[in-house]
Amino acid sequence: MERCGIDRTRLDSTALHRQNVCVTDPREALGAAIKARRLALNLSVNAAAKAARIDRATWTAAETGTRQTEAYNAGRIERVLGWAAGSIEAILAGGEPTERPEPEPRPEPLSAPEPTLEHEIARLYAMPKLTPRERRAALRALIDFYAEDIDGGSEERPTA
């Protein structure tokens, strides 16, 4: 299988240069694509391997095409390179990698409204295991809490 016109990037003393080359081995094509993308992202081998949580030797083997890339490592490599899942398989089959789409921005979480006294009382009555005495004590505490909130707690309340 011969593939010509694959972008291959090499580093020399001046800058990154792209050149078209013919690649006959799919693993070599994969290695060239991984290396080109890593260099385009300005990542060292160490930084890329660390980001992928794989050994440096595993990353280097993927770039040089010296051994098969395991599926779990392929996913990690694709993530670091910003490729969609399955891009490595696509390259090995003679295709091109697909950029991973940007994730949709997450909406801001809605803040829960402040509970009202009525809401708290309803929750209190929904607790079946409370005895009447415990329920009355909890009601007094709720009313006192909300009363402090309303008038700033300036009034002293007589205790019963």
Give the model confidence (pLDDT) of 43-67 as tens digits: 999 999 999 999 999 999 999 888 8
Q: What are 82-91's pLDDT values in tens digits?
A: 999 999 999 9
pTM: 0.53
Predicted local distance difference test score (pLDDT) of residue 149: 61
Per-residue confidence (pLDDT) for residue 17, from 0 to 100 = 35
At residue 101 the predicted structure's pLDDT band, cuts being 50, 70 and 90, is: confident
> What are the backbone angles phi and psi of residue 5, rounded to the nearest 5°?
85, 15
> Do 92 and 25 meet the contact criterion of CB atoms below 8 Å apart?
no
Can you spell out the DSSP letters for 63-86?
Answer: HHT-SPPPHHHHHHHHHHHTBPTT
* Residues paired with 6 in a beta bridge: 21
Residue 69's contacts (CB-CB under 8 Å, 6 or more residues apart) are 30, 61, 62, 77, 88
Tell me the pLDDT band of 9, cut-offs 50, 70 and 90.
very low
Q: For the segment 17-47, what is each residue's pLDDT rounded down to a tens digit?
A: 344 455 568 888 899 999 999 999 999 999 9
